[in-house]
Amino acid sequence: MIPSAIVYTSRTGFTRQYAQMLGKQVGLPVYSLEDGLYGLPQGTGIIYLGWLFASHVQGYAKARKRFSICAVCGVGLCDTGTLLEQVRSATGIPSEIPLFTLQGGFDRSKLKGPNKLLIHMLVKGLSSQAQRSPQDERMLQLLQKDGSYVSLDNLSGVLIWYQFLIK
């Protein structure tokens, strides 16, 4: 199925930026999940983007009940194109649905309540480890300073997939 819309869930804005960037590139309308649930017909083919929480693509479960998911993008702090197996299994994305991970960003000032506490605990836990894997070391560095890693370059895999699909 060829997607006819892009739907996203974003907490601090990085996933929204990717959704808008992608919409512009492929010429599809972009909806937040709430707006899409309200305004798009049942079964609409969509590209779904959600931020990553514990390797889980937020909002995917809700989106899949209503829409026909053509591809999923998980936006996290991980490097673009990594953690694919982990994210697919944590979120329960079937193998036939293309999955992409995109590096988003971190903005501590926009986090509230439990999310802020979880990040604080994660940083504390990682900092207290005597020895860290290179991946944990990188995650710790990214969590210690705010930053945006959103770029058109990171969307290249999704754009290649889309061009191939519509040919």
For residue 80, what are the contacts with CB-CB under 8 A and spacing of at least 6?
A: 100, 101, 102, 103, 154, 157
Task: Tell me, by CB under 6 A, how many residues bind ligand FMN.
Answer: 22
Supply the minimum distance, in Å, between the C-beta of residue 162 and ligand FMN: 21
Window of 23-31, 38-46, 50-58, 63-71 that interacts with ligand FMN by CB under 6 A:
50-58
The reply to whether 155 sits near ligand FMN by the rule CB under 6 A is no
Q: Which two tokens stand for residue 144?
A: 């210690």
> Of 35 and 43, which has the nearer Cβ to ligand FMN?
35
Window of 9-17, 64-72, 91-99, 123-131 that interacts with ligand FMN by CB under 6 A:
9-17
For residue 17, what are the contacts with CB-CB under 8 A and spacing of at least 6?
A: 148, 150
Task: Characterise 13 by phi-psi region: left (phi > 0), alpha (psi -120 to 50), beta (else).
Answer: left
Query: How far is it, in rounded angstroms, from Cα 135 to Cα 112?
Result: 26
The reply to whether 31 sits near ligand FMN by the rule CB under 6 A is no
Using CB under 6 A, which residues numbered 55 to 74 contact ligand FMN?
A: 55
Among 3, 5, 6, 12, binds ligand FMN (CB under 6 A): 12
Residue 70 near residue 3, CB atoms below 8 Å: yes
* Interacting residues toward ligand FMN by CB under 6 A: 10-15, 51-55, 75-78, 104-106, 111, 115, 118-119
